[in-house]
Amino acid sequence: MSGPDLLLTALALLAAASGLLAVTGSRVVHCALWLVVSLGALAGVYLVLGAEVVALVQLLVYVGAVVVLVIFALMLTRAPVEPSDRLDAPKGQKLAAVVAGISVGGILAGTLIYALQDLTVKVQGEQGSARNIGRAVFSGWLLPFELLSVLLLAALVAAIAVSRHLPAEKRPGQSLTEDGGVQ
Amino acid sequence: MLTDITGTLTGVPRIDAVALLPVIAPVVALLLVLLIDAVRPVKPLLNLVTLAGLLTAAGGVAYLALEGTERSTACSIGVVVGTAGLSGPSPLPESLSPSDVGFGCSYLVSDLTLTGQAIVLVAAIGCLLLALDGPGAEDRTAHHTLLLATVAGATALAGARDLATLTVALETATLPAIGLIALRRDAQGAQAAVTLLLTAIASLGLLLLGIGLLFLATGSLYLSRIADVLASDPDEKVLVVAVAGAMFALAGIGFKISLVPFHQWTPDTYAGAPLPVAALLSTVSKAAGLTAAAVLLGIGLPALHDAWAPLIGVLAALTMTAGNLVALRQQVAVRLLAWSTVAQAGWVVLPLAASGTTRDGVREAVAASLGYLLAYVVAGLAVFAVVVLVARHHRAGEEHTLEAYRGLARTEPVASAVLAFALACLAGLPPGVMGLIAKVVALRPVVDAQLWPLAVVAALNVALALAYYLRWTALLLATTDQATPRWRLRPAEGIVLGGAAAGCVGLSIGAGTIAGLLPDLLR
Amino acid sequence: MSWLLPALVLVPFAGALVLPGLPDRFAVRAGVGVALVTLALAVLATYETGTTGFGRMQLEVRTDWVPALGLQAHLGMDGVSAPLVLLTGLLSVLVCLYLTRVGPDRNLVACVLAVTGGSLATFTALDLLLFFIAFETVLIPMWLVIRIWGDTTQPGGTATRNDAASRFVLYTATGSALMLLGIILVIARTGTSDLTELIERGGAGMSVTTQTVAAGLIVLGLAVKTPMWPLHTWLPPAHTIAPTAGSVLLAGILLKLGTYGLVRVAVPVLPAGLQNVAPWLGGFAVVGIVWAGLACLTERDLKRLVALSSVAHMGFVLLGVASMTPTGLQGALYANIAHGVVSALLFFVVGALKDRHHSADLSVLGPGLRDRLPRLGWLLTLGAVAGLGLPGLAVFWGELLAIAGAWQSSALGALDRPYAVIAAVGTAIAAAYWLRVLRLIWQGTPPADQAGLPDATHHETVVVLPLVVATVVLGLLPGPLLSTTAGVVRLLLPGGGVVP
Amino acid sequence: MIHLLGPAVLAAALAGIGVYGILARRNAVLVLIGAELLLNAANVLLVTASALPAGGLAGLEHSQTYHDPLIPGQVMTIFVITVAAAEIGLGLAIVLLLFRARGTVELTAVRELGEASPRHTETPS
Amino acid sequence: MTESAAILSIVLPAASAMLGLLMGRDWARDWAVLGSLGALVAAIAELVLVGTDGPVTAFGFLGRAQLGGTTIDLALRSDQLSAAVAVLVALVAFCVQIYSTAYLAGEGTPDAPTRYPAYAATVSLFTAAMMLVVHSADLVLLLIGWEVMGLASYLLVGHHSERASARAAAAKAFLVTRVGDIGVVLAVVVLIAGAGTTSISDLNRAATENEIGHGTVLTAGLLLLAGVVGKSAQFPLHIWLPDAMEGPTPVSALIHAATMVAAGVFLMARLLPLYLTVPGALQTGAVLASISMVGAALAALAQTDLKRLLAYSTISQVAYMLGAVCVASDRELGSGDPTALAAPGVLHLLSHGAFKALLFLAAGCIVHIVGSTALADMGGLWRTHRSLAVLFGIGLLGLAGIPPFGGFWSKEAVLSAADEAAHAGTWVGWTVLVAGVLTIVLTGLYAGRAWAIVAMGRDPVLPAVGDAETEEPHENPHGHSQVPVAMMLPLYLLAIPTVAFGLVLLTPFDLLHGVEIQPGTAITGALLALSGVGWAVSAPRLGTPDIAVALPVRARALLENAFYFDAVIRALVVRPVLGLARTVQMLERDVVDAYVRAVRPTTEIAGTVLRRTQTGLATGYAVWVLVGAVVLTVAGMVLV
């Protein structure tokens, strides 16, 4: 159990625990915050595995943007700040969720444990450096990169179109005026 | 064989623009639409630009098909090796040949690609025309943008030959569609969008886990590379991980074709979404799903045939039977159509269950699937066209039940003739010869591989499906007392109706196109 | 003369497409015209085939349709299909003629022509897949005939009518879907779907198990259409509900598709397979004969009774085919034509009676028909007597030869003699139920209230006359029809039918 | 030298937790949180896989020393993160739309499209 | 020339039947009479021509049917046997047609129409069918004639279809003969399979040269015997003949006396060479004949209805003919055509045809006078209608076999044949001889009884001929006092052969050398017959004209109902079949069809269950997706 292994296990435990709390918490804001902790821990894990850029992107995009968005969404949907039991699905659904969660996790863990049994590997620090990632993205993965830009554009246009403000009592099939103004 | 357009950026591979035309055209159109919307949003202009984008893409496909040579682009062969002066982190030992290190091409224009793209574009043009005047088209710009994005994703998916492009293309084909569903901003649309969104995200998670496992096992994302690694009888560990990865990936794609365990979003989303978008989902999105499955399983994982073929057989049987059984009980037209597409998904995927290990076996199976898909898409478009027309003229709008079709043959002989003919095609009974030939094409590999239980289930499902298709046709010819108003047929809808009907008749007479796709190797 | 068969097939289809456009009155007359042209073409084709010999396939025409599947639009005619083509042409003309006076409806005539076209295509198709497509083309028009023009006065009104129609089409569709599996298996194993080629091979290139599986599936599909005993429950309701024109088509032409398929596809292409299936086929056929006979003994509805008697008749045809001997096969083909003529005659008469009494129930049709409606009475008697297989009328020859074939059949193994005896007993049961019919409605004193009904009109007599003549001529002069099928039967059977 | 088993198990655990998160929650936004976790699990798996030398598990017996210059694992992770961002963006937009349309984001309350809902079960006339 | 005569004898009546039916009421009578006359002339011509330029073995009639290996040649043949029987048939048919013109004159009452055109046409059809049977050289062609006769008999028995008993009798007649005909059909099938031909001459030749397997010939023989028993109303298939008396009397005369019932014997005679190779079949025939002979005669004794008495008498007499043919295997014959061995049977056939037709037609006249067929209503004919009584007497004498009447000669021929067979030491010969002798006594008895009741009987039923119409004939409202000429003429015509049949023995027919009358049996036979008649005629002195009264009451009822055999058959066959039919109908509805009907509800239930999984909850769907993925993976792993 070398130094990085120790660090990895620590970060892994932190990520898993905070993830679990994020998912089972009864206070909405706490869930969001635990999510931040979990994603942060993951960034750490990436660093240990030598993926610098990925760690940075993780921090930047996930922790920075995504979680903030989630918190905004929670606030906009006036989610109850105080602990409420209405967050979890009804009994049957929860049971199914547990079963599904355990089975997905279990089968993945089983396969991976079977495959990676005591496999140790020397981490190449600078494999994940910006230079290599840059060259890789712009040589081998140019097409997905370009496609990604189309995806982002489409997602944003969709988000904007969908969230254009809604007239007070919206009846399905009611047509908006050209500029989408409120009647 | 790379054509050279950029060359300025060091190390950036020359992208073969012609090969990528079917993907680039919709994107360019998309940008133009946004530009026009910013400058002066004039409805006919927007329609025109979108249509032009799709037609150029179709032209590109036609050109590539006629040219006949196989083009591959966005490849990373020789980039790192060939670029002088660039020192990679660890320069590749000269002894290694490119194929050793996991290189390959992200995008390949082969018969499979062109057929997939052709089907997608035909369906997209149909859906666009339906959406021009149909419900949910008020917000013209957003609608067209999202539609073009979906088409770009679907066409890219057909050509994707590595898992990264496959994933991104799949998401590009799904996310805008979710946007389209929610575009009408009403409660129905929102719920439908949420349903599809959650299913899509869960499936994306599964797909990515699958890709992670496959990457762990084979060390590369290129499908050709994965196929080679798995073909050279890897050891037990690699095989187990690869199979797990393959299954997760297949599950991830399942929702798009609406195979049984992953189909539950279909009826709710079709009912909630505007009709043209439902048409889009049932044709473009399903075509994209099938091409993804064909690419992933046919090109990437033929070696694991023993794992996925029987399972696809089971899924196909379950999908057919469940789809037909529930469809029998449906009264609302669009829900019946949703369940009918679920049942047809079973038929589309049926040949894959009998692909056999030989390269030729897989090719024939994929060819059969694509053949059936083509027949299904054309017939589906015709049915949707008529349903949209009825929705527009019926007081219950999109929620109209089958009763709205009672006695339609009296007032609208042409439209009901097209609907009856299309339903006969979907049922696979003459006069719908196209459907019959498609069913023969689909059943041939299954019978050839002697999968008797599957073949018998499929045969029984012919009758089950026939039950509700005939019930619908019978309503058309029934006599009714209330007078249905004459229809005012808009040009766009006329084109779709005529085009789809011509397609059905054409494919019935020239049924060779259904049976003879993918003549040479599956690449 | 290679244009002849395509024309024969396409003329009725063209008629079917054009007629809905025309006004009712004119359309029905045009329908008769088209049917007459088809009949003329059929006669010409038969004559041509006859001159150059019924033994081999004549007037062949062949073009590629779906090369990838090996499907060719390949038509031809020989001794087996010639009589059936003639019968189809004749019945089509008679039905159209009948419709000119009784409920003229352009769509109904269009459906009749579509059914005629589909049947003619099936009888002349020489490609397995083309045979299948033509076999299925007949389904939708027949379904329409029952569904739209069916009789809604039955208890349960439109619900029973719709149920009968959907039961007919779904039962047959399931059967033919299973048959499709068999056909695809044959094509997959032999590599060709061309019937002439497959007949020459006589099942070579296919292992016995494959042949048995394929034969099982194909026979199952065709048995539903014939109908064979356990799979026959769609026929009685279909007949009770169908209008007269529909019943004549159903009994006269559609049932022949199944048996023709057996003789053309199952026997020559899968001889070894059919050898294994034959005892079962023979068994079900024989049970069918006795079962349907007994069911008729207590049947109240006359149309249902005639339908059940059709099941018994087709039992003989199936027995003939199952015997796989030249005598048996010729008996089967003969019984096929005879049943077509006799059941068409019966359904016309029963239809006329039902139109007059507004019900087909034996008690309503009432006793004393011989005095009230003498002409219809005599026609019914002739039909009944022919139905029970009186020697001297058409059906007898079919039954005699089928029983003779079964008696000396090697394919039926040890069961050949018992089957023949049971089938012979079946003829006695046929006599019992037909005499019961005559006793209940033909004899006896006519009730007072039904005095005013008109006897068979001149028009109805003219429609039925050819059938009467055919029944008698086929009964007294079996020579010509038997010699037509003799040549081909020797070809179809493995080793030319070694059993004498 | 690190054991790859640690991050692998982490990926599995996170996947399980993510799945639980998606299915057990009633509030749509929290469901999206679960989804994020599931996607992150996939990312962890990809990054751990990219730590292996070229050729992945299959390449081990060739005892390669160098790493695949195209670093597919990490590049894929970056793409996934971006896709996740796009998904969450659109997801939240739709959730907000649902909130504005129906005043609640509890999925159990918005089940109008199901087969059991009154809209679609009126008996056929 | 003989061919054309034979063909004419068939075609003429057929044509008259066709035209009679189509032309309608007024022409019918002329066509019918003309047709039968034509047939008679053709038959006589054929008889003469056969005599002069010899028999013609086979000439084409309905072409040739080619099937598989064998070909069925539907040809005719004409020889002495066929010519003789043809003449008999034509003669009786002609007489019946003339008789019927008067018997069924007029329209009849609305609820009992005479339907004369249909009647006349069917009789002509029958004649044509019988001619076809007589002349056919091929078993299948014979079967056609055989069954068309059955159909004609069905139509004629059911002629007065307004009476329920007539309808039942007609159906029974056709069905019982049809059951017999299953045997004939199967025999044809066996012969097609075994011998490869159905031509009678070929079969006889092949059988004698035993080219066909013995088993095949035996089965064919027995099966044909079944047909014969059915058609000739022998035990056990005799139940239909007494009921067939429901038909008009001339029909009974023609069909149920002279021709149809004799067709069975004719067939046996035709196929005698074949039967000689399988004595087993002949023995069974002999046994059945003996039982029928005695049983029917006993039953005739106790009948209370004149026509049923004559019907049972016919069964007994036909049994006589059958017995004569069946003993043929035990008699040796010098040279010549083996069919000559059947001569005694054929001889009796011819004579019986004449006098039985005479009796029936006379009975018809009596019924015409008295108005009912019951013996109780009859009596005193001798005084009221002397000529009719005389003719009736001649018929009875012929029947009883009193010399010198025709019946005596033919009956003696049969007895001497039986005697010769008995002396050859076979048990068959003895049974037939004993039965024959017993029957002669019984026949004498019931003939005498008939005479006693009808002719002598008590006071005249009707005023004597020529009396004024003053006194209303008591108690027979619908009788007629006068018998029209057209009905009397045929009686005279038929009386001639009844009396003069003995002369036939002298004619140079080569068939006859199979016949030799032994003086011993002849004399004993005559004495027995005379004693029988005498005893019956002496009954009136005992106070009642009916000798049967002497029988104990229960025995009389037993005999009258012919040993209740009819009820036995009804219980053993008819009721179970109807029961089976009901169960089949029930099974059809509840079992075979149930599976088909069950499909709809099962799909509906399945559909509803599956629909319920569509809850509308998005995360609910996600559960299916994820669990589905896991199951898929596990299955994948297991498969690899």
* E293-342 confidence digits (pLDDT tens): 998 998 888 888 889 999 999 999 999 889 888 888 777 766 667 777 88
Q: Do E612 and D108 touch (CB under 8 A)?
A: no
A157:B179 CB<8 A: yes
Beta-carbon separation of B211 and D87 below 8 A: no
Q: State the smallest CA–CA distance between residue A64 and chain B in angstroms.
A: 21
Interface-testing mutation among B325, B336, B340, with chain E (most E C-beta atoms within 10 A): B325
SS3 assignment, position C301? strand
Q: Looking at beta carbons, which residues of chain D come within 8 Å of E625?
A: none
Task: Please list, in sequence order, all residues whose beta carbon lies within 8 angstroms of the beta carbon of residue C41, skipping any fewer than 6 positions away.
Answer: C4, C7, C8, C11, C89
Report domain D5-112's class.
mainly alpha
Separation between Cα atoms, residue B105 and residue B97, nearest integer Å: 15
| The predicted structure's pLDDT at residue B472 | 93
Distance CA C225, CA C246 (A): 15
Interatomic CA distance for residues E307 and E521, integer angstroms: 31
The H or E element spanning position E78 is: strand E70-78
Q: Which residue has the tokens 């019988």?
A: E130
State chain B's mean pLDDT as an integer.
86
| Residue B79, min C-alpha distance to chain E (Å) | 37
| CB atoms D67 and A88 under 8 Å | no
Helix orientation angle between E214-231 and E139-157, rounded to the nearest 10 degrees: 20
Instruction: Please state the domain extents for chain A.
Output: 3-128, 129-165
Residue B20 has pLDDT above 90, yes or no: no
State the number of CA atoms in the 13 A half-sphere of E270 facing the CB. 31
Local structure of E138: helix, strand or coil: strand
Whether B101 has a pLDDT exceeding 70, the answer reads no
Chain C residues whose beta carbon lies within 8 Å of the beta carbon of residue B437 = 66, 69, 71
Mean pLDDT score of chain E? 84
Task: Give the contacts of C269 (CB within 8 A, at least 6 positions apart).
Answer: C186, C195, C198, C199, C201, C202, C203
Query: Which chain E residues are Cβ-neighbours of D22 within 8 angstroms?
Result: 619, 622, 626
E86: nearest Cα among E352, E318, E342, E350? E350
More confident residue, B139 or B10: B139
Record: contact D56-B195, CB cut-off 8 A: no
A100 at interface of E, judged by CB pairs closer than 8 A:
yes
| Token output for B368 | 């059969």
* Mean residue pLDDT across chain A: 84
CB–CB contact E633 A107 (8 Å):
yes
A127 in E contact zone (CB under 8 Å):
no
Model confidence at A102: pLDDT above 80: yes
Cβ E522 vs Cβ E510: under 8 Å: no
Which residue in B383, B386, B312 sits closest to B349, CA to CA?
Answer: B312
* pLDDT given at position E479: 67
pLDDT for the residue numbered C495: 59
Cβ–Cβ contacts within 10 Å for residue B483, how many? 9
**What is A3-128's CATH number, 3.10.620.30, 3.40.50.410, 3.50.50.60, 1.20.120.1200?**
1.20.120.1200
To the nearest whole Å, the CA of E505 is away from the closest chain C CA by 37
SS3 content of chain E, % helix, strand, coil (to 5): 75, 5, 20
The residue among C319, C421, C435 with the most chain E CBs within 10 A of its CB, best to mutate, is: C435
Q: State whether the Cα torsion B49-B50-B53-B59 is positive or negative.
A: negative
**Shortest alpha-carbon distance between residue E629 and chain D (Å):** 12
Nearest-neighbour CA in chain D from E23: distance (Å): 60
Residue to substitute from B87, B201, B263, interface D, most D β-carbons within 10 A: B201
Tokens 């099941």 locate to: C311
Q: What is the Cα–Cα distance from A31 to D30, expressed in whole angstroms?
A: 8
CB pairs under 8 A between B and C: 91
Select the residue of C371, C428, C489 nearest E113 (Cβ to Cβ). C371
With contacts defined as CB-CB under 8 Å, which chain E residues touch C294? 577, 580-581, 584-585
Residue-wise DSSP of B278-312: HHHIIIIIHHHHHHHHIIIIIII-GGGHHHHHHHH
Best probe of the B interface among D10, D71, D76, by most B CBs < 10 A, is D76
Q: Residue D2 forms beta bridges with which residues?
A: A121
Residue found under tokens 């069961």: C415
**Residues C390, E151 contacting (CB under 8 angstroms):** yes
Classify the phi-psi angles of E233: left when phi > 0, otherwise alpha if psi is within -120 to 50, otherwise beta.
Answer: left
Tell whether D33 lies on the interface with B, counting CB pairs under 8 A: no
CA distance E607 to chain A (A): 23
Tell me, yes or no, if C246 comes closer than 8 A to chain E by beta carbon: no
E221 secondary structure, DSSP code: H
Cβ neighbours around E41 below 10 Å, total: 16
What is the average per-residue pLDDT within B74-94? 39
Of E606, E616, E622, the CB nearest to B202: E622
Q: Which residue from A43, A112, B193, E5 is spatially nearest to D13, judged by alpha carbons?
A: A112
**Cα four-point dihedral sign C412, C418, C422, C423:** positive
Work out the burial of residue E425: count CB atoms within 10 Å of its CB; fewer than 13 is exposed, 13-18 middle, 19 or more buried.
Answer: exposed
CA distances from B505 to B379, B409, B434, C492 (A): 10, 19, 8, 37
Task: Confirm or reject contact between E596 and chain C (CB < 8 A).
Answer: yes
Band the pLDDT of B239: cuts 50, 70, 90: very high
pLDDT digits (tens, 9 = 90+) for B288-337: 999 999 999 988 898 888 889 999 999 999 999 999 999 998 999 999 99
Residues B378/B503, Cβ–Cβ less than 8 Å: yes
What the block records as the tokens of E396 is 């009875």
* Mean pLDDT to the nearest integer, B221-236: 87
Give the residues across from C72 on adjacent strands: C64
Residues of chain B found within 8 Å of residue E621, distances taken between Cβ atoms: 195, 198-199, 264-265
> How many whole angstroms from its chain centre is CA A171?
35
Between CA E229 and CA E235 the distance in angstroms is: 7
For the cut 70, the answer to whether the pLDDT of residue B353 exceeds it is yes
List, as own/partner pairs, every contact residues B83-88 make where C-beta atoms lie below 8 angstroms and the sequence separation is at least 24, other chains included. B83/B10, B83/B11, B86/A135, B86/B10, B86/B11, B88/A132, B88/A135, B88/D69
pLDDT band at D12 (very low <50, low <70, confident <90, very high): very high
Instruction: Provide the H-helix boundaries in E327-460.
Output: 343-370, 381-384, 386-400, 406-423, 427-451
With CB atoms and an 8 Å threshold, state whether E185 touches C400. Answer: yes
Nearest CB to B311 within list E604, E619, E635: E635
Cα–Cα dist A120/C466, whole Å: 94
Average pLDDT over residues B22-26: 92
pLDDT attached to residue A181:
38
Buried b (16+ CB within 10 A) or exposed e, B163-197: bbbbbbbbbbbbbbbbbbbbbbbbbbbbbbbbbbb
Neighbours of chain B (3+ CB pairs under 8 A): A, C, D, E
Q: Which residue reads 């996600």 in tokens?
A: E622
| pLDDT tops 70 at residue C58 | yes
What pTM value is reported for the model?
0.90
> What residues in C contact E159, CB-CB < 8 Å?
none
Question: Among A115, A126, A176, whose Cβ lies nearest the Cβ of B89?
Answer: A126
C-alpha E474: how far from chain center: 38
Return the sign of the alpha-carbon dihedral for residues B410, B413, B416, B421.
Answer: positive
Q: Which residue has the higher pLDDT, A112 or E108?
A: A112
Q: Which residues contact C141 (CB under 8 A, 6 or more apart)?
A: C16, C110, C111, C112, C114, C115, C118
Is the Cβ–Cβ distance between B275 and B334 less than 8 Å? yes
Mutate to test the interface with B, among A139, A166, A170, A171 (most CBs of B within 10 A): A139
pLDDT at position D124 is 43
Window 206-235 of B: residues touching A by CB (8 A cutoff) are: 209, 213, 216-217
Asked if pLDDT for residue E262 goes beyond 90, the answer is no
Q: What is the pLDDT of residue C34?
A: 94
Residue E462 near residue E481 (C-beta atoms within 8 A): yes
Confidence class for position B94, pLDDT limits 50, 70, 90: very low
Q: Is D30 on the interface with B (CB under 8 A)?
A: no
Distance of CA A98 to the CA centre of its chain: 20
Q: Where are the beta strands (DSSP E) in B170-289?
A: none
Measured in angstroms, the CA of E618 and the nearest CA of chain A are apart by 11
H or E segment at C480? helix C479-492
ipTM: 0.89
Query: Residue A157: which of B9, B74, B146 has the nearest Cβ?
Result: B146
Q: How far is B455 from chain D (nearest CA, A)?
A: 30
DSSP readout, A122-139?
---GGGG-HHHHHHHHHH
Could you tell me the residue ranges of all domains in chain D? 5-112
Please state, as a whole number, how many other Cβ atoms lie within 10 Å of the Cβ of residue A83. Answer: 11
Q: Which of B381-385, E153-157, E545-549 has the lowest mean pLDDT?
A: E545-549
Kindly report which listed range (B265-269, C230-234, E200-204, E335-339) carries the lowest average pLDDT score.
E335-339
Once rounded to an integer, what is the mean pLDDT over residues E277-281?
88
Nearest to A104 among E619, E620, E630 (CB): E630
Instruction: Identify the weakest region by mean pLDDT among B370-379, B492-501, C126-135, E454-463.
Output: E454-463
- Answer whether residue B84 shows pLDDT above 70: no
**Interface contact flag, C445 E111, Cβ < 8 Å:** yes
Tell me the C-alpha distance between A111 and B216, whole Å: 11
Interchain CB contact of D80 with E (< 8 Å):
no
- Inter-chain contact E627–A100, Cβ cutoff 8 Å? yes
Q: How far is CA C198 from the centre of its chain?
A: 25
Mapping DSSP to helix (H, G, I), strand (E, B) and coil, where does residue B403 land? helix
Write out chain B residues lying below 8 Å of A155, CB-based.
175-176, 179
